[in-house]
Amino acid sequence: MEKAVFLELTEKIIKSKGFGRSTTYANLLRFLVSSSLDEDAPKETIIAAEVFGKPDFDPSESTLIRVYVYKLREKLRNYYAGEGSGDPYRLRIPKGSYGIVFEKAKHQSGILRLLQQKAVRLGLIGGTLACLLLLAWFQLGRGEDGSLRESIWSDLVSNGFPTAVFLGDLFIYLEEDSLAGMSRTIRDPDINGLSDFASFRKDDHREGVQTTALSYGLLVRGSLQWIKDLTRLFDAAGHFFSIRTISRFNPKELQDQNFVVVGMIKTLGLFTDYFNYSRFAYDEAGEALILEKGDAAERQVFTPTGDPDGYHTDYGFMAKFPGPNQNTVYLFCGLWDTGATQSLKNFTDTSLRQAIESEIAGQLGEVPAYFEVLFEVSGIDRTELSTKLIHVFPLEEPATFWVDPGGDILNR
């Protein structure tokens, strides 16, 4: 089969309604098709350089290419299930490969297709009822509505970017002292990521001491619940996402994907800079969120109280704001892990989310595209938590940030 035929088919897929308007996915498909027609299945690094303009891409530090190719496979499957069902040839990306396989479609005979259509018509009512019952049972078992499109999560399925979940973890490193004959793992609260660690090493002139960043960090107590809540939400909607830790976050990734960031504020690394542009200021030393109100500068301080392993009150915070490249960032955090856990649950549990969205709409007249919310969270030993919405503010000129060449987050 001539190359021109498959190139023409590629453009037909890109122009289909279901493929969307993302130039990134269009360029990715064109590149994979062109490479495969030349019998040259590309590697991640080549795709990153040619399609995404990232010549220094490191696959061990980023899942960017794998996530985009996964979503591209979904787009192709959806195309052939709908608009492309009658195409004589199909494009397929086998798992574990970035090469395109060109296959001749196996269409059913006309008689068989007519018989199936008649059977569908005859069994429409019974089949519809059965499907509805099955769907109801399935969703009751999961506890989710199976859709992200009619909620604050709609950006994840509409803007064409892959979704990355980043968990706030505690950065640790290995210290080996050859003079003392000692090796130990250290957690320093002033070192919360690779950039902090690089600065620390630059100023560390101790004789005989060698420090090395470890390939893992310490996840806080609520991390398992965060993964569980997000997995239930996204899985019910068939939405793929990757999971990483903040200590391994590369600032260059800010333009490449949607972000769902969850953790205690002190573990959020560069994302803590959001509070430089929020209505709330973060006081790390005092472990508090501070709100300055009005011209009179009425000051409210919110800080946890009680026993974190017994009855206590924490404060959870949620913000939705735009990233630097028409992508979206969702920030769920707390002063303690209790606040982070409940702020996320408020938007992953269907009934809680609907109640919160209704309350936001009641106060602001609508649920804005971008906003920030403060919750008061009370409970015993991080269970049986109750939540109260304290403040909600629309982000009319949202705090959008990007990364300069030096790696600092700046306001736009």
Contact 241, 234 (CB under 8 A): yes
Give first-to-last CA distance, the chain, whole Å: 50
User: What is d(CA 394, CA 292) in angstroms, rounded to the nearest whole number?
Assistant: 16
For β-strands 401-403 and 305-306, DSSP reports them as: unpaired
Q: What is the DSSP string of 65-111?
A: HHHHHHHHHHHHHHHHHTTTTT-SEEEE--TT--SPEEEE--PPPHH
Q: What is the pLDDT along the chain (412 residues), one digit of tens a residue?
A: 567 888 888 899 998 888 877 788 889 999 998 888 888 878 889 998 888 888 888 887 788 888 888 888 888 988 888 888 888 888 888 887 888 888 887 754 444 344 344 444 444 444 444 444 444 434 434 444 446 777 899 999 888 888 999 999 988 899 999 888 899 999 887 787 777 888 999 999 999 999 998 877 888 888 989 999 999 999 888 888 889 888 778 787 888 889 999 999 989 988 999 998 899 999 988 899 999 865 555 789 999 999 887 889 999 999 999 988 889 999 999 999 999 999 999 999 999 999 999 999 999 999 999 999 999 999 886 666 789 999 999 997 545 555 443 444 544 4
User: What is d(CA 373, CA 319) in angstroms, rounded to the nearest whole number?
Assistant: 6
pLDDT in the model for residue 297: 58
What is the DSSP code (8-state) at residue 144?
A: S
Q: Which two tokens stand for residue 228?
A: 């569980």
Question: Hey, how many other C-beta atoms are within 10 angstroms of the C-beta on 395?
Answer: 19
What is the DSSP code (8-state) at residue 18?
A: G
pLDDT in the model for residue 107: 55
User: What is d(CA 265, CA 388) in angstroms, rounded to the nearest whole number?
Assistant: 19
Question: Hey, how many other C-beta atoms are within 10 angstroms of the C-beta on 303?
Answer: 14
Burial code of 200-237, b = ≥16 C-beta within 10 A, e = fewer?
A: eeeeeeeeeeebebeeebebbebbebbeebbebbbebb
Secondary structure class of 391 (helix, strand, coil): strand
Q: Which two tokens stand for residue 300?
A: 């409210």
pLDDT in the model for residue 397: 54
Question: Hey, how many other C-beta atoms are within 10 angstroms of the C-beta on 312?
Answer: 18
SS3 sequence of 230-293: HHHHHHHCCCCCEEEEHHHCCHHHHHCCEEEEEEEHHHCHHHHHHHHCCCEEEECCCCEEEEEE
Listed in sequence order, the residues at least 6 apart from 170 whose beta carbon sits closer than 8 Å to its beta carbon are 187, 192, 217, 218, 219, 220, 247, 267
- Fill in the amino acid letter for 353: R
